[in-house]
Structure 1
Amino acid sequence: MIWRHIVSNFLTLAIVIMVVLGGLVTWAKTQYEEPGPLTEGICLRVESGAKFRDISETLAAQGAVSSAYILRAGADYSDKDGKLKIGSYLIEPHSSMAGIVDQITAGGPSTCGTELNFRIGVNGQQMILRTLDPATGRYVETAKFDPKAEDVPEGFSEEAQKADTRLRVTLAEGVTSWQVVEALKAADFLSGDVAEVPAEGTLSPDSYEVTRGANRADLLAQMKARQETALALAWETRSEGLPYASPEEALVMASIVEKETGVASERAQVASVFVNRLERGMKLQTDPTVIYGVTKGQGALGRGLRQSELRRETPYNTYVIDGLPPTPICNPGTAAIDAALHPADTPYIYFVADGTGGHAFAQTLDEHNANVARWRAIEAQQE
């Protein structure tokens, strides 16, 4: 009887222990998978050679997880404890332990920390170093300089060379293909040669995330593919009756619109002026095409056009030739492409600067001359 009693008590105790352990496992699993205690985003940096124990303790100290031990146990159970990937990770508020483990073991581009943006603009380039503020999710600019004209700021190179610094190349609307290629040659975080300058207008002004050592030719191919897609989509939905024989002609018009105005709200109006001129057999008479004929897209003119240049017959002098020039004069953005293929319905055939950064539009020559007189008066006051 005694042994039977002992065995019975042992079995009861074992069952209780199993129930308790099961409850603990269930509780730990819930803790591992449910939203965490973090109230503001944080930036977690995983260095080379980091251990899960160190990372778990860091997360616990910053209030991102309720238990460093449960985080390690969950990572071990899911066979991810030895798969940490170097990088800087934005840990969102209330991220679960399971989500954090997945994030820091999946790898890929860093989502937090420092970003180096090489911006290629019409009038030059800029190296821009930014750091993400995890609390707001916004980047804060920490350094900016022109690599051709200024010395490298102190500490810039160290930050830029970090393994987890994200790299980005951004093209501004209106840059020429020559400008893009020349700038990419100077980007020391890229590799490879460029055999030839891509055709004008075929590169999409956009922002491109790259990896250190990325091939320049591959990046240019990506820019071309993105522009082809944008042009094809806009061409499929184009307005009826446009005076373009092909998407390529529409791209030429888009490049002119891009160079004529930086005001987004008036692109479609500017496009309408040139479309109306083409339909009436009028010359386009636009300075940016003449300038391209002088510079061949190799930098800014840096001065006003001379009368001799306005009279000289070149394929790009739209004061002399009829219709469109033979090629685009820059790489237009998607908004300019959309304006060229969806111009506003207006009676305007003239426009001139109005002193605000935009333009004054006119239907008749008398109206236009009055607008020009106002602009000349504004210019005189500014001088």
Structure 2
Amino acid sequence: MGWGLRIFAGTLALAVAVAGGVGVWGYQRYSAPGPLEQPETVIIPRGSGLEAIAITLGDSGVIASPLVFAAAAKLTGTFRDLKAGEYQFPAGISIDGVLEQMRQGRTVVHRFTVPEGLTSAQVVALLARESGLTGEIAKPPKEGSLLPETYHFSHGDSRNTLIERMQAAMTQILAEAWKNRDPNLPFETPQQALTLASIVEKETGIAAERPKVAGVFINRLEAGMKLQSDPTVIYALTDGGGELGRALTRNDWKLESPYNTYVAAGLPPGPIANPGKASIQAVLKPEHHEFVYFVADGTGGHVFAKSLADHNRNVAKWREVQQSRQSDHGETAPE
């Protein structure tokens, strides 16, 4: 034990004895408002002893006297139960209030949101930028294994632990949706349904459209047609890295890859993103119709067609919209 800690410990013992002899004065200091003039966030590192906690709180201005705080913690017996973490203490909080908040472990709760349709590489990148988490991702998670959702965590939690929570949530959601799926769907395994759900997720951001879009792809699978989905080409071109950053070209559609559904028949080998619950449910309870084509309608949604002739007319209208906007961005026609 260093001289500083010995002096602190000795002084603390004396403070405990004095506080025990002057109970009224001690209680007043214990329950009186503290010096904080505005809320303050303080991080108590894991492994901190009572002395270190008291000094940290004193340096942060939460308490006026580390010695009085430590004495109060000793006298009340709460020093054994003080929990590390990130705390936000309100203005004027008393020593009593600080001890109770730390005894209960009422730490700051952070929110980490995984948007629908991100690849696993993109999710890992988001986690890496989250300063409140610790550790590095030991192994890149399997594509499609992470459920897009908002997750709560405390300062110092592990990134790998958060990944495990996302995977457990996806496993549960997929199992429930698979159990309640419509009959006679062209899937042999839940993983195949998850793969199509990832395509649906990337094809439309409109929740109401997802069952209809899912129905289009299921109709194509049942008819032996190629899925011809642009997002699968982008996934192949970026190797799962995320956005391409440019419009697809005709040469892109010819890319030899099992993920390119313009070249390869049937479903890709696996998901191309992490789909949300709504897309998974849309694939396993799709809208039943006869549409086998769809293309952007210029308003953020899509227009659907049963025949190639109708589809070509819809494509022509979409190209007129593109030309009027004088932009090269937007969805490509062959869908």
Normalized against structure 1, the TM-score is what? 0.60
Instruction: Give the match for residue 256 of structure 1.
Output: 199
Structure 2 Cα separation of the partners of residues 267 and 333 of structure 1:
11
Higher helix share: 2
Equivalent residue for 1:107, pick from 79, 93, 104: 104
1:272-351 to 2 correspondences below 5 Å: 272-351=215-294
Contact 2:82 2:105 in 1 (8 A): no
Task: Note the residue ranges of structure 1 that are not aligned, 5 or more in a row.
Answer: 1-49, 59-78, 90-99, 111-163
For 1:179, give the aligned amino acid: Q
In structure 2, do the counterparts of structure 1 residues 81 and 224 end up closer, same or farther at CA, with 3 Å as the change threshold? closer
Contact 1:87 1:107 in 2 (8 A): no
Contact 1:268 1:343 in 2 (8 A): yes
Equivalent residue for 1:237, pick from 161, 165, 180: 180
Structure 1 Cα separation of the partners of residues 138 and 166 of structure 2:
16
Equivalent residue for 1:227, pick from 159, 164, 170: 170
Instruction: Give the match for residue 204 of structure 1.
Output: 147
In structure 2, do the counterparts of structure 1 residues 88 and 283 end up closer, same or farther at CA, with 3 Å as the change threshold? farther
Deviation at 1:187, TM superposition (A): 2.1
Rg comparison, structure with higher value: 1
In structure 2, do the counterparts of structure 1 residues 81 and 210 end up closer, same or farther at CA, with 3 Å as the change threshold? closer
Instruction: Give the match for residue 19 of structure 1.
Output: none
The yes-or-no answer on 1:172 pairing with 2:115 is yes
Count how many residue pairs are aligned between Structure 1 and Structure 2.
Answer: 247
Alpha-carbon displacement from aligned partner over 1:279-337 (angstroms, at most 9, x marks no partner): 00000001000110000121310001121121122111111111000010000000010
Instruction: Give the match for residue 325 of structure 2.
Output: 382
Deviation at 1:108, TM superposition (A): 4.6
Q: CA RMSD in A?
A: 2.6
Contact 1:52 1:84 in 2 (8 A): no
Deviation at 1:109, TM superposition (A): 4.5
The yes-or-no answer on 1:194 pairing with 2:137 is yes
Structure 1 Cα separation of the partners of residues 276 and 160 of structure 2:
21
In structure 2, do the counterparts of structure 1 residues 87 and 355 end up closer, same or farther at CA, with 3 Å as the change threshold? same
Structure 2 Cα separation of the partners of residues 104 and 52 of structure 1:
14
Higher strand share: 1
Identity across matched positions, percent: 47
Normalized against structure 2, the TM-score is what? 0.68
Structure 2 Cα separation of the partners of residues 104 and 314 of structure 1:
56
For 1:360, give the aligned amino acid: V
In structure 2, do the counterparts of structure 1 residues 317 and 169 end up closer, same or farther at CA, with 3 Å as the change threshold? same
